[in-house]
Homo-oligomer: A and B are copies of this chain.
């Protein structure tokens, strides 16, 4: 098969790799229909995380080609979507809805799904089949469900978005934009998107944002307060992972409100006294995407939502290196790799 390997910072190649095979009886082998690049892939690409000769990719959709003896919930030929964490979906943590912390979890990034095929551990707990073979135009949206949509959705759920709520979204990348979409689906009354980019503002509005705030930091917080009788938003999504974004999220939330944070934290420190006086709820981390996959697939299948719009560049897998370059040079936010 063909697969992406990061040999050294900046050195991405697509090359021949051994075909995956069933190792555990709970495994499945997929022939991938699409995969993609994630913002988190840029950390090793830029040398911030030291990685050599590493397989890449953790998002995937595709067709089941082979199943282990113990796999029963998916069949050969099924079109399936899975999360970036493989999970048994039966342990106590999974049953509580936290499949990203499954006691048997496997991080798909260690398997590398920027490839034509992939072995999926714990297939019964990890994969969800679509109702049939999808129309080609649904593939980007199903691909988004594998990570960015599931992550934005989790952020909205963690922020306790619901009817009558005012929601603010910090971060206008793919996850933030899909947090807006999730907030709309979950019935939010008002959705305030922080964004300075015209194209992302437009997509935020298309996904359901009612207000766009260009200010950041305390000026941005001030704007949210203005829009909420001085109280702050009920629910705030943090989808960046920086100190500024976390501060902005906490300060934009009213006392008793909820912050859902999914930006991967980089050098963030939360002052205890400020959090104490803020009186907000704080919840986040790696999204348990598996919890939401059945519902997300249904919404995509019914064409209720179109989260695939967050992909702003589509390339064949063979041109993965160009996809990395485009993201590194900020010419693209999220790259779909087709097969």
**A residues engaging B (CB < 8 A)?**
92-93, 96-98, 100-101, 103, 229-231, 241, 243, 246, 254-256, 261, 264-273, 275-286, 288
- Contacts A265-B272, A265-B273, A272-B270; A279 near B92 (Cβ below 8 A): no
Question: Are A273 and B279 in contact, with the CB atoms below 8 A?
Answer: no
From residue A295, how far is it (CB to closest CB) to chain B in Å?
Answer: 18
Q: Which residues on B sit within 8 Å (CB–CB) of A229? A: 92
Choice from B256, B265, B281 contacting A276 with Cβ under 8 Å: B265
Given contacts A93-B255, A254-B93, contact A270 B273 (CB under 8 A): no
Cα A103 to Cα B231 in complex, Å, equals: 9
| Extra contacts besides A92-B229, A270-B270 (6): CB < 8 Å | A92-B231, A103-B231, A241-B272, A268-B271, A280-B283, A281-B282
Q: A93-B254, A231-B92, A255-B93 are in contact. Are A276 and B272 (CB under 8 A)?
A: no
22 contacts between A and B (CB under 8 A): A93-B231, A93-B255, A96-B256, A98-B255, A100-B279, A101-B254, A103-B230, A243-B272, A246-B272, A264-B276, A265-B275, A267-B272, A268-B272, A270-B271, A270-B272, A270-B275, A276-B284, A276-B285, A277-B285, A278-B285, A279-B286, A280-B283
For A271, A275, A286, which residue has the most chain B Cβ atoms within 10 angstroms?
A275
For A271, list chain B residues within 8 Å (CB).
265, 268-270
From B243, B264, B279, A285 is in contact (CB under 8 Å) with B279
Known: A101-B256, A269-B269. A283 touches B281 (CB 8 A): yes
Point out the residues of chain B lying under 8 angstroms from A272, CB to CB.
Answer: 241, 243, 246, 265-270
Q: Which residues of B contact A100 (CB under 8 A)?
A: 255, 279
Chain B residue numbers with a CB within 8 Å of A243 are 272
Within 8 Å CB of A283, what residues of B?
280-282
Considering the complex of A and B, which 5 residue pairs feature the smallest CB-CB distances, nearest first? Answer: A268-B272, A265-B272, A101-B255, A98-B256, A279-B285
Residues of B within 8 A of A96 (CB): 256
Question: Which single member of B230, B246, B254, B275 contacts A282 (CB below 8 Å)?
Answer: B275
